Amino acid sequence: MHIPTDFNPACPFPIQNYPNVLLAHGGGGKLMRDLLGKMILPAFSNPLSRPQHDASVFELADRRLAFTTDSYVVRPLFFPGGDVGSLAVHGTVNDLAMAGARPLYLSAAFIIEEGLPMETLWKLVCSMQQAAKAANVQIITGDTKVVDKGKGDGLFINTAGIGVLEHSLTIAPQSVKPDDAILVNGDLGRHGMAIMAMREGLEFESAIESDSAPLAGAVLELLRAGIEVHCLRDLTRGGLTSVLNEIAEAAELTLSVEETLIPVREDVRAACEILGLDPLQVACEGRFAAFVPAREVDRAVDILRKQSCCGGACRIGQVTGRSDAKVLLKSMVGAQRILDMSSGEQLPRIC
Amino acid sequence: MHIPTDFNPACPFPIQNYPNVLLAHGGGGKLMRDLLGKMILPAFSNPLSRPQHDASVFELADRRLAFTTDSYVVRPLFFPGGDVGSLAVHGTVNDLAMAGARPLYLSAAFIIEEGLPMETLWKLVCSMQQAAKAANVQIITGDTKVVDKGKGDGLFINTAGIGVLEHSLTIAPQSVKPDDAILVNGDLGRHGMAIMAMREGLEFESAIESDSAPLAGAVLELLRAGIEVHCLRDLTRGGLTSVLNEIAEAAELTLSVEETLIPVREDVRAACEILGLDPLQVACEGRFAAFVPAREVDRAVDILRKQSCCGGACRIGQVTGRSDAKVLLKSMVGAQRILDMSSGEQLPRIC
């Protein structure tokens, strides 16, 4: 787990009096006010979070903004390398980063199943707070609902995010051009396999830890260096395969990648083999693909490798113009095949 | 139900092939792409919704923005006068309105329980689309997750919203002043009682319909007329009682309201009596309290009464300065008592 066992700051909410969440904690009365006022709001306290109000108000000088949302329903709630709290921050920060935006503000909405241990909620709230701080975003508004036991699954978290675009690029599939290089920022599949290994009770010499991490810093460094970034996409549900197919389709171009260039750790590859999964379809939460002009690929890789979470950045292929096939994979033995999307059953509730 | 039975535009998604939502519809593969591409995105289609991208980008000239979020876990999903889809639009639009903001953009995030009839999802998506159109907001980004059967409750919807403040007022409890008049925009308790009556199988001569409605239009009219609005709050979870207590506490002032002035319909009052509920604690979804200077109360009421959903606007009391008690209620028989918050068990999952 990425929450050190000694990290558990004293909770201002009296957990001993309410060891488990009650339906009444979502009912709009005193119990809810206590939970918000003594646990959640203190954790996310900042000048913009206005506990007594319906919406938070902020000022922005920049005119071009990005807006995104994601719900996080991963199970288990805690997994090697992360938890649903930090994931809910990273995922939304990363979606903003993929639009080339500097993430500024997040919302946090909790759907809690009655009976969730209050200690679990507090750990996850603390994890969100730490993740937000590390990602340099502020959680400025939120909501808490409680559903009956058996009508939820512990905790679902939704975050929405607002970011600013401080550049004039159009970072989108439509900007991808023939001959663009395709990069990734590191080895693939660790997030999904960390969770699947845990669910399936697989034991390895050392646990596979999730790659969950905030990516905005690395993206902003690319932009600050003037790299003409054409498209960015984080490799979440469906993994690299889904992302490449979606971009190929939207850009109406063929993408060619080489299996030998795509970094996958040996333990991840072994776990995938045991479970019959394709590492290129496994979700990551700290990995992205970038499309940049071929002439800028070396500089982009150099910049990325200096950023945290991006030490393994490398080129994995290029855009090869138009053809009937969307994504081509040159396999380790040199054969070329079409890399098609799965239908989607592979890994439920990975994020 | 507020969806006319003849309203069910042809769904571009082949419901006959997938009559129920599968886990795979949330898995990041082709099935998910189909669900998004053929059902959800067409319903919310607008120039800013970019199906192939992680975040939506927009431009704003105004610098003061409002940001809010809410999850909607009401059950049943359809109720007299509304459904969770329209509620998810109204609730977030109203939270923005309560900050004095013009609502502009919403996100829509679905947490679907495996097995939900696809037809139900489509009806609710259509309802959101209609509600967004009526409220003059655009749904520009979203997310869809599917959880295992038995780990959710049909459908939870989260919306986050962004609005702009086109005035220089500080609409907040801290702006409330002694002698301010307290208004509401209509009769209280209908939303909660519509749902409770349905859950409890109560029959009345005519069904109690939810008051769920978008309130931004009415608030913007008050502001356009130059009414010096000090504070606004929608009367959701915990009802009028919770709202008055929260504002009294934040403003450090005593509020006095008169039971004879507070509009509650007879059928709502009767249903409350049968169920042992206090109508002043029952949630509304189309009602708000406004704090305005006493000299402006008549004009404010006149303006509100011309707006839809506000025909029953009236003054219910005033701010009476500082004392130990937070909220005082002068009852129908003339006695005065402290109106205290409930602990919160009264009405679970009303919104």
Domain boundary residue among B120, B137, B165?
B165
- The size of the A-B interface in CB pairs under 8 A is 306
Do residues A187 and A324 share a domain?
yes
**Is the CB of B66 less than 8 angstroms away from the CB of A60?**
no
Do residues A196 and A313 share a domain?
yes
Place of tokens 């006149």: B302
Inside any domain, residue A72 = yes
- Beta carbons of A107 and A163 less than 8 angstroms apart: no
Inside any domain, residue B347 = no
The residue with greater pLDDT, A186 or B250, is A186
Do residues B210 and B250 share a domain?
yes
Percent over 70 (pLDDT), chain A:
94
A212-221, B76-85, B158-167, B321-330: least confidently modelled range: B321-330
Neighbours of B259 (CB within 10 A): 18
Half-sphere exposure of A234 (CA within 13 A, CB side): 31
For A111-124, the pLDDT digits (tens) are 999 999 999 999 99
Please calculate the CA angle B330-B333-B339 and round it to the nearest 5 degrees: 30
CB contact set of A56 (below 8 Å; sequence gap of 6+): A48, A49, A50, A105, A140, A141, B66, B67, B68, B99
Residue A79 reports pLDDT greater than 70: yes
pLDDT given at position B1: 37
Distance from CA of B102 to the nearest CA of A (A): 12
Q: What is the ipTM of this complex?
A: 0.92
Inside any domain, residue A273 = yes
Residue A318's SS3 state is strand
Q: Return the residue in B67, B75, B128, B291 with the most chain A beta carbons within 10 A, the one to mutate for interface testing.
A: B67
Q: In chain A, what residues touch B68 (CB-CB under 8 Å)?
A: 54-56, 107, 141
Do residues A274 and A254 share a domain?
yes
- Beta carbons of A111 and A164 less than 8 angstroms apart: no
Distance from CA of B24 to the nearest CA of A (A): 4
CATH of the domain at A333: 3.90.650.10
CA distances from B282 to A119, B47, B150 (A): 30, 39, 29
CATH of the domain at A88: 3.30.1330.10
> pLDDT grade, residue A338 (50/70/90)?
very high
Q: What is the mean pLDDT of residues B92-108?
A: 95
Inside any domain, residue A119 = yes
Domain boundary residue among A114, A133, A165?
A165
Residue B36 in contact with partner chain A when CB distance is under 8 A: no
Do residues B191 and B332 share a domain?
yes
Report the interhelical angle of B118-134 vs B84-98 (nearest 10°).
Answer: 30
Structural Rg of chain A based on CA atoms: 21
> pLDDT grade, residue B37 (50/70/90)?
confident
Highest mean pLDDT among A81-85, B46-50, B193-197: A81-85
CB contact set of B31 (below 8 Å; sequence gap of 6+): A343, A344, A345, B18, B22, B24, B25
Residue B341's SS3 state is coil
Q: In chain B, what residues touch A60 (CB-CB under 8 Å)?
A: 60, 63, 65
Inside any domain, residue A200 = yes
Do residues B126 and B275 share a domain?
no
For A131-152, the pLDDT digits (tens) are 999 999 999 999 999 999 999 9
Cα(B232)–Cα(B240) distance, integer angstroms: 12
Residue B199 in contact with partner chain A when CB distance is under 8 A: no
Task: Give the phi and the psi of residue A84 in degrees, each rounded to 5.
Answer: -65, -25
Residue B247 in contact with partner chain A when CB distance is under 8 A: yes
Cα(B69)–Cα(A224) distance, integer angstroms: 32
Q: What is the mean pLDDT of residues B14-33?
A: 86
Do residues A324 and A184 share a domain?
yes
**Is the CB of B246 less than 8 angstroms away from the CB of A33?**
yes
Domain coverage including residue A293:
173-338
Least Cα distance to A345 among A287, A278, A284, A259 occurs for A278
Q: In chain B, at which residue ranges do the beta strands (DSSP E only) sit?
A: 56-59, 64-72, 78-79, 82-83, 101-113, 138-147, 155-165, 181-184, 231-234, 255-258, 288-292, 314-319, 327-330, 336-338
Burial code (b: 16+ CB inside 10 Å, e: under 16) for B260-290 equals eebbbbebbeebbeebebebbbbbbbbbbbb
pLDDT given at position B325: 72
Domain count, chain A: 2
Supply B291's token pair: 């704090």
Residue B246's SS3 state is helix
Domain boundary residue among B108, B143, B165?
B165
Cα(B94)–Cα(B73) distance, integer angstroms: 17
- Identity of residue A20: N
Distance from CA of B111 to the nearest CA of A (A): 7
Inside any domain, residue A3 = no
Residue A267 in contact with partner chain B when CB distance is under 8 A: no
Supply B222's token pair: 């008050």
**Is the CB of B68 less than 8 angstroms away from the CB of A59?**
no
Pick the residue from chain B with its C-alpha nearest to A156: B111
Least Cα distance to A110 among A195, A16, A21, A38 occurs for A21
Classify burial at B17, counting beta carbons within 10 Å of its beta carbon; exposed 0-12, middle 13-18, buried 19 or more: exposed
Q: In chain A, what residues touch B64 (CB-CB under 8 Å)?
A: 57-59
> pLDDT grade, residue A4 (50/70/90)?
very low
Do residues B236 and B255 share a domain?
yes
Pick the residue from chain B with its C-alpha nearest to A342: B29
For A269-304, the pLDDT digits (tens) are 999 999 999 999 999 999 999 999 999 999 999 999
Nearest to A345 among B23, B145, B347 (CB): B23
DSSP string, A81-135: TEEHHHHHHHHHHHHHHHTTEEEEEEEEEEEEETT-BHHHHHHHHHHHHHHHHHH
Residue A278 in contact with partner chain B when CB distance is under 8 A: no
Mean pLDDT of chain B: 90
Cα(B191)–Cα(B204) distance, integer angstroms: 15
pLDDT given at position B223: 98
Do residues A218 and A108 share a domain?
no
> pLDDT grade, residue B211 (50/70/90)?
very high
Inside any domain, residue B110 = yes
Residue B297 reports pLDDT greater than 90: yes
Inside any domain, residue B319 = yes
Place of tokens 């329209």: B86
**Is the CB of B53 less than 8 angstroms away from the CB of A172?**
yes
Percent over 90 (pLDDT), chain A:
71
**Is the CB of A29 less than 8 angstroms away from the CB of B64?**
no
Q: What is the mean pLDDT of residues B22-46?
A: 82
Q: In chain A, what residues touch B94 (CB-CB under 8 Å)?
A: 54
For B183-203, the pLDDT digits (tens) are 999 999 999 999 998 998 887
Do residues B134 and B67 share a domain?
yes
Residue B120 reports pLDDT greater than 50: yes
Do residues B132 and B192 share a domain?
no
Do residues A185 and A147 share a domain?
no
Residue A68's SS3 state is strand
Residue B305 in contact with partner chain A when CB distance is under 8 A: no
* Sign of the Cα pseudo-torsion (B246, B249, B252, B253, in order): positive
